[in-house]
Amino acid sequence: MTLALAVAIIATGEPWLLALLVYEFTARVATGPTLSPMGSLATKVLASRIAEPRPVPGPPKRFAQGVGLVFSVTASVLYFVTGSMFVPSIVLSVLVVFAALEAFIGFCAGCFVFGYLMKWGLISESHCEACVVAPVADGTPSC
Under the banding of pLDDT at 50, 70 and 90, the label for residue 48 is: low
Structure pTM? 0.81
Has residue 128 been placed in a domain?
A: no
Has residue 135 been placed in a domain?
A: no
Nearest to 65 by CA among 90, 93, 102: 102
Its sign, for the CA torsion 93, 95, 101, 102, is negative
Under the banding of pLDDT at 50, 70 and 90, the label for residue 109 is: very high
Range of the domain at 34: 2-106
The confidence score (pLDDT) of residue 35 equals 77
Has residue 22 been placed in a domain?
A: yes
The alpha carbon of residue 37 and the mean position of all alpha carbons in its chain are separated, in whole angstroms, by: 15
Average pLDDT for residues 52-81, to the nearest whole number?
89
Nearest to 94 by CA among 112, 68, 132, 62: 68
3-class DSSP assignment, residue 13: coil
Has residue 98 been placed in a domain?
A: yes
Residue 142, phi then psi, degrees to nearest 5: -75, -5
Has residue 16 been placed in a domain?
A: yes
Residue 30's CB is within 10 A of a number of other CB atoms, namely 13
Torsion of CA 66, 72, 76, 81, to 10 degrees: 80
Has residue 6 been placed in a domain?
A: yes
Number of domain units in the chain: 1
Has residue 92 been placed in a domain?
A: yes
Task: Name the more confident of 105 and 36.
Answer: 105
16-27 pLDDT tens trace: 999 999 999 999
